[in-house]
Structure 1
Amino acid sequence: MLIVMGGLPGTGKTTLARLLAARIGAVHLRVDTIEQAIVRSGLAQHPVGPAGYVVGYALAEEHLRQALTVIAESVNPLRVTRDAWRATAVGAGVSVLEVEVVCSDPAEHRLRVTSRSIDIPDLPLPGWQQVVDREYEPWERERVVVDTAGQSPRQSLDMLLRGLAPG
Structure 2
Amino acid sequence: MAGLPAAGKSTLADILGARLSASVVSVDPIESAILEAGIDSDQPTGLAAYLVAETIAGLVLESGHDVIVDAVNGVDPAREQWVGLAKSRGETLRFIEVICSDPEVHRERLEARGRRLPHLNELSWHAVEQSLDEYLPWAGASAAVPRITLDSARPLGVNVDAALAFITT
TM-score by length of 1: 0.90
User: Conserved in 1, the CA contact under 8 Å of 2:58 and 2:85?
Assistant: yes
RMSD across aligned C-alpha pairs, in angstroms? 1.5
Q: Which residue of 2 aligns with 1:45?
A: 41
Bigger drift between 156-165 and 33-42 goes to 156-165
TM superposition shift of 1:165: 3.2
The 5 Å alignment of 1:16-95 reads 16-45=12-41, 48-95=45-92
- How many residues are aligned here? 161
SS at match of 1:71: strand
State how far apart, in whole Å, the 2-side matches of 1:164 and 1:124 are: 32
Q: Which residue of 1 aligns with 2:135?
A: 136
Bigger drift between 103-112 and 26-35 goes to 103-112
TM superposition shift of 1:160: 1.2
State how far apart, in whole Å, the 2-side matches of 1:156 and 1:150 are: 7
Which of the two has greater helix per residue? Answer: 2
User: Conserved in 2, the CA contact under 8 Å of 1:61 and 1:91?
Assistant: no
Alignment-mate amino acid for residue 144 of structure 1? I
Which of 5, 8, 13 is the aligned partner of 2:9? 13
Alignment-mate amino acid for residue 149 of structure 2? V
- CA separation of 1:148 and 1:87: change in aligned 2, threshold 3 A: same
Consecutive unaligned residues in structure 1, runs of 5 or more? none
TM superposition shift of 1:127: 0.8
Consecutive unaligned residues in structure 2, runs of 5 or more? none
State how far apart, in whole Å, the 2-side matches of 1:162 and 1:104 are: 22
TM-score by length of 2: 0.89
Bigger drift between 7-16 and 89-98 goes to 89-98
User: Conserved in 1, the CA contact under 8 Å of 2:24 and 2:68?
Assistant: yes
Bigger drift between 135-144 and 18-27 goes to 135-144
- Deviant stretches of 4+, over 6 Å: none
